[in-house]
Amino acid sequence: YNDAVEPSSLIDAAAPPGHCTRSATSALAKLLHWARERKLENEVICHQADYVASALASTEKPVLVSDWHNALKLGFDIDALEWPSWILERCLNADERNTLTRLRVTRPGDVCERVVSAEASEAWGLPAGVEVVG
C-alpha cells in the first residue's frame, strides 16, 4: 500500500499541481510503473476492497466496480465523474487506457449489480443473495 515507485515523468508533465497522482505511492504511479515492467493487455486494475467485493460475487466474468473514493487514487475526477483527459490522452497508451477504463466507477454505497454468491455464503457465513455495494 505504501510502497513508493519511481515518480512518473508522464504524471509530472500532465497532472495539475498538487494532484494526488503526483505522489510516488499513488495508484496511477504504480500502474504506470507496472506497465513499464510488462505490457498490459487484459488486466483490470482495482483496489483491494473492489477485488474482495468481486470475489464475494464470484461470477464467471467478474464485474469490477469501484467507488469514487477508491478511483480517486487512480486520478478519477470526482467533480466531473470521469477519467480526466490528461490521464487518458497524455499518460496512458491504448492498452493502459483499456486497463483503467474497464473499472466501472460508481457512487459510494451504490449497489454494484452483484449479490453474494452461494459459494461465498457457504465459505464465509454471509447471507447468499445480499447485494454488494461500492
In degrees and rounded to multiples of 5, residue 67 shows phi and psi of: -90, 170
Mean pLDDT of 97-125: 83
pLDDT tens for residues 42-99?
A: 777 878 888 888 788 766 666 678 898 889 888 999 999 999 999 999 988 888 888 8
- Residue holding cell 470526482? 78
Kindly tell me the sign of the dihedral angle through the C-alpha atoms of 69, 59, 55, 98: negative
pLDDT of amino acid 86: 94
CA distance 17 to 15: 6
Q: Return the bridge partners of 77, or none.
A: 82
Give yes or no for residue 26 having a pLDDT over 90.
Answer: no
- This prediction has a pTM of 0.80
Residues 54/46, Cβ–Cβ less than 8 Å: yes
